[in-house]
Structure 1
C-alpha cells in the first residue's frame, strides 16, 4: 500500500545516483520510487500534521482507479520488484477488497516447523471442546500440537474430557496448580512445548479461516518479526481485535482499534483488509518464535490477567522487532466467556485498575510519546479513528 504518495521530501544525498521515475511503472511511478528510496534511507520520519490536500479530478486515480487501470499492474510490479530486492521468493500479490492497489501478499512458508498451541483452561468444557474441534476440523496446517494447561478445574466432566484426549498424539494436558495468573500459566505451558513456534490461544476462541496458521506463520518466520496477531470477532460478527493502540481507552493504557465495528467494514483507510505493523496484538491469539519468547523471559508474571500481552509486545519492540496484525487469520473470540468480565466484578475491576497503573508506570515514556502507528490528531477515547474533540485538544494543550 503506497500510503506516502505525493507529498514527500528526500535528501539530495539519497536522490543522487537513483533513477527516479522508471519506465514500465506508469501510473505507479511514485510507489516504485518511494520503495527504492526508502530501502536505502537511514531514517524515515512522518510529520503528523495536516499539511497537504490531495486534489481529485476526473482522470486521476484519486477519483477512480478505473481511470488508470494500468496503475494496478504497475503497482504490483513495483511491490514485486521491492520484495525481490529484499530477498523474498515465491510470493503472491493480489488486490484486497479495500482498494485495487492495496495488496495482500502471500509469503512462502520456508519451513513447516511445528507450532505449539498453548490453551489455558479452567472448566468451561463447551468452550474448550469447541475450540479444539475447530482447530482439528478447520486447520490446513498439519504440523502442530495442542497443550492444554489445566488450572484449578472442579467439574468432573472437564477431567472426563481430558481422558478422552489421552490417545491423541497431538494433544497433551499439563497441570498448573497455582492461582490464576495468565502469564505464569502460559510460561509454564511453554516449558512443555516441542514446537519452534508458540501460539497463545484462549479457550473461548473458534477457528474461521482454514489457513489461519499459515497466514500467521508467514510473518512469524521472518527474522525481523516478533508477535503476530489475528483478526478476532465476537459471536455477533463485530470486531473484537484488529490490532492494539498504546494509550487508547479510558485507562490510557492500550485499546483495540475498530472495536465492535461490523465484520464486513473496510476499516479506517481499509485497515481491516490488509496486514500491517502495530504496536501490540492480543494474547488471545498470538504467534511468536519459541526461542524469542524464551529470550524475553515469556510474559511478565507481575501482570496476572491484563496487559501482559501488550507488555510482551512492547518488549519485543524494544528489541527492534516488528509486531504484525493480519486480517487473513480469522477466529471468533467469545471474550471473557471463561473468566467473566473484569468490569462487572468489583474485585476484578480493582485488580485491573492496579495492573493498569503498573502498566502506565512501566511504559510511561512510550505512552507519553504516543503510538507510532496512530496519528496524534485521533481521539484516544474512541476506537474508530475519530478526530480528537475540542475538549481533548484543550486538555492536551494544558499538559
Structure 2
C-alpha cells in the first residue's frame, strides 16, 4: 500500500476511535489546532497566552510561588544585542523570585560595554543582580564563580547569549513547590533573532538515564539545589566542552528518580549562531573528548563496568557494557508452517550470532503441512541446541510463549518471531549488554522492513490511541528526533518480535497475559514490567529484518479478528487507563499522537495554558 494512503487510513481509523470514545469536541479541537498550525503560522507558538502571563505577574506581586532561584551566567565578550536580550528576559520574568549572578571574564576591550548593560539592568533590579569581574580560566571555572555569588536555594544555568522564557522562573518555582524535586529540567527551543519566531522545539522525555548516557538530552533549562551543586564540587574544568553533561551525571547519581522532575514547558531559548554548540559540535571539537570522560568517570563512580565509545553520530556516545558471566539465552520461536520463513530465521541466527551461549526452542502451533514436521526433524540435526515442542490449542501468542518458557533453561528469554532475519552478528551481545544491567529487565532491537525502512525502534504508548512504533516507515540511516534513532535509550515498551527479558522477571510477571491472544501482549507485558520498577531499554545496535505478519495475515478485513482486536484494545485501556496510555513518560505531550514521526503536535494547549490538561 502507498505510504501516504496507509497513513491517511490509520489516521482516519484513529479519528473514528476518538470520536466514538471522547465525542466530537476533542476531534474538532485537534482539527482546528492542525489548521491553525499548518495555515496560520507558528509565531510565539511555545509562549503562554498573554492573560496567563498577566495572571502570573499578579500572583508574583504578592510573593514568589517558590524558593529563590539564582540564575548563573558566565560572561565572556558577550555581544551587546545578545546580552541585552538575556538581561531583558530575566527582568521580565513573571515571578520576582530570582537573582542573576554574572561572572564577567571579558577582556579589557569588551568589558566596559558589558558592564554598562549590566549596570543599567541593576538599576531596575537592584541587589537581585550580582556581578563580579574574574579572570578567564574556562567555562567551568567561570560558571563556578557565578555560582559562588548565589544566595538562592536553587541554581539555574544559562548561557550568556541565550534567552529565558518569561514564565521560566515562575514555572520552575511552582514545580518545586508541588514536587519538592532537587533537580528539574524543561523543554527548550532554538532561535536566531526573536523567541517569538522559534526554529524548532526540543521536546524531551521524562528522566531517561540510559538516554542521558548516550547524549546530553537535558541541556536547558536545568535547575537544581545549590546544596547539591556544592556537594559535588561544582563544574569540573577537565570536562570543559561537556561540563554540563558531566555535572548532570554527578548530580543525578546522588538522587532518587522521585527527586527528578521534567517540566514539559519551553522555558529556555537557545540561540543558534556560528560559535554555539546549538549549531553543531563542529564549532567546538573538544566536546566529544570531554563527554566521553564525563561518562567514563560516571561509570567508575557508580561501580559500573564498560568502555565508552563514540556513537553513530557526533554528540552521541555508546557504552560497551561488561556482561556478567556467560549467561545462556533461550530463544523462543513460535511457528505454524511457513518453513521458508523459519529457515531464513534459523540460518541467520546460527550463521551470524557471535554470542555462542544460546538454545533455540521452536514452539510448534497447529501446522497442517506434513513437510513442516519433516523440516523440524532435519533442523534438529542441522542446528545445535535446537528443540521443537508442540503447543496444543488455538492461536494465542501469549499462551504459546508461556508454554515454550517451560522448556527454557536460560537466564534470559528471547521472544523472536519466525519471520525475522538477523543483520549484524553482535545483535544478541548488544541486547545482553543492556538487559543485564542493574535495574534493567528488557531490551528491544531495531527492526527494518525488507525495503530498509523502520518497522520498530521502540514502542510509544498513546500513538494512534493505544500504542505505536517510534519512527515507523522512516528510512534507515538517520539520527531520528533528537538522536532517538541512534542512541540506546529508555522506552515504555518494545515489540515481542524481538524481545530479550530476564527469565526471573518473566516469571515474576507470570509471563504474557493470555487475555491478549494476538495484539498488545508485548505492550501489556512491558508496562507491567515498567510499573514493577524495572527499566525497558531499546538499542539501535541490534539490527534485524522483520517480514511483519506473514505468519498470520492481516486482521483488517476479517470481522472476527476485528472484534478480537477491539476486545484487546479495551483490555489494555481498562488495565492502564486512557490517560495512562496517552501520557508515556518517554514521549513528550507536545509531540503528536497521530503519527510515529515525532512531529510537533497541532494541539499545544499545555504550552499556551499550563493549567490546561491535555
TM-score by length of 2: 0.62
Contact 1:226/1:313 (CA < 8 Å) preserved in 2?
no
Contact 2:466/2:582 (CA < 8 Å) preserved in 1?
no
Match 2:532 to one of 319, 334, 347: 319
In structure 1, list runs of 5 or more residues that go unmatched: none
Match 1:377 to one of 584, 590, 593: 590
Tell me the SS of whatever aligns to 1:45.
strand
CA separation in 1, counterparts of 2:525 and 2:602?
A: 31
Q: Name the residue aligned to 2:338.
A: 124
CA separation in 1, counterparts of 2:232 and 2:480?
A: 36
CA separation in 2, counterparts of 1:231 and 1:190?
A: 24
Structure 1 residue 161 and structure 2 residue 375: aligned?
Answer: yes
Q: Report deviation, 1:176.
A: 0.3
Q: Report deviation, 1:93.
A: 1.9
Contact 1:204/1:338 (CA < 8 Å) preserved in 2?
yes
Larger radius of gyration: 2
Tell me the SS of whatever aligns to 1:166.
helix
Bigger RCO of structures 1 and 2 (CA < 8 A, at least 6 apart): 1
Structure 1 residue 28 and structure 2 residue 242: aligned?
Answer: yes
Tell me the SS of whatever aligns to 2:526.
helix
Structure 1 residue 356 and structure 2 residue 561: aligned?
Answer: no
Q: Name the residue aligned to 2:328.
A: 114
The root-mean-square deviation of aligned C-alpha atoms, in Å, is: 1.9
Contact 1:379/1:392 (CA < 8 Å) preserved in 2?
no
Matches within 5 A, 1:92-111: 92-98=307-313, 100-111=314-325
* 1:287-328 Cα distance to aligned partner (Å, 9 max, x none): 011111111100011111110111110111111000001010
Contact 2:447/2:456 (CA < 8 Å) preserved in 1?
yes
Match 2:450 to one of 235, 260, 277: 235
Q: Name the residue aligned to 1:244.
A: 459
* 1:43-88 Cα distance to aligned partner (Å, 9 max, x none): 1110011121111222222223122211211111001001111111
Q: Report deviation, 1:264.
A: 1.5
The verdict on how the C-alpha distance between 1:21 and 1:81 changes in structure 2, with shifts beyond 3 A counting, is: same
* 1:104-143 Cα distance to aligned partner (Å, 9 max, x none): 2111122121100000000011111110001011111111
Off by >6 Å, runs of 4+ in structure 1: 391-394, 396-399
CA separation in 1, counterparts of 2:315 and 2:613?
A: 42
Structure 1 residue 49 and structure 2 residue 262: aligned?
Answer: no
Match 1:17 to one of 216, 231, 244: 231
Q: Name the residue aligned to 2:503.
A: 290
The verdict on how the C-alpha distance between 1:391 and 1:374 changes in structure 2, with shifts beyond 3 A counting, is: closer
* 1:10-36 Cα distance to aligned partner (Å, 9 max, x none): 023322322111121111111111110
Q: Report deviation, 1:169.
A: 3.8
Match 1:71 to one of 287, 290, 315: 287
Tell me the SS of whatever aligns to 1:54.
strand
Q: Report deviation, 1:94.
A: 2.0
Once the two structures are overlaid, the 10-residue window that deviates more, 38-47 or 150-159, is: 38-47
Q: Name the residue aligned to 1:307.
A: 520
TM-score by length of 1: 0.95
CA separation in 2, counterparts of 1:388 and 1:276?
A: 22
Contact 1:253/1:367 (CA < 8 Å) preserved in 2?
no
CA separation in 1, counterparts of 2:605 and 2:361?
A: 46
**Which of the two has greater helix per residue?**
2
CA separation in 2, counterparts of 1:351 and 1:53?
A: 48
Q: Name the residue aligned to 1:259.
A: 472
Contact 2:416/2:499 (CA < 8 Å) preserved in 1?
yes
* 1:248-304 Cα distance to aligned partner (Å, 9 max, x none): 11xx11111101111112211121111000000000000011111111100011111
Q: Name the residue aligned to 1:336.
A: 549
Match 2:418 to one of 195, 198, 203: 203
Tell me the SS of whatever aligns to 2:333.
strand
The verdict on how the C-alpha distance between 1:286 and 1:392 changes in structure 2, with shifts beyond 3 A counting, is: farther
CA separation in 2, counterparts of 1:221 and 1:352?
A: 34
* 1:369-397 Cα distance to aligned partner (Å, 9 max, x none): 60000010111111001111259989x96
Match 2:302 to one of 71, 83, 86: 86
Contact 1:149/1:175 (CA < 8 Å) preserved in 2?
yes
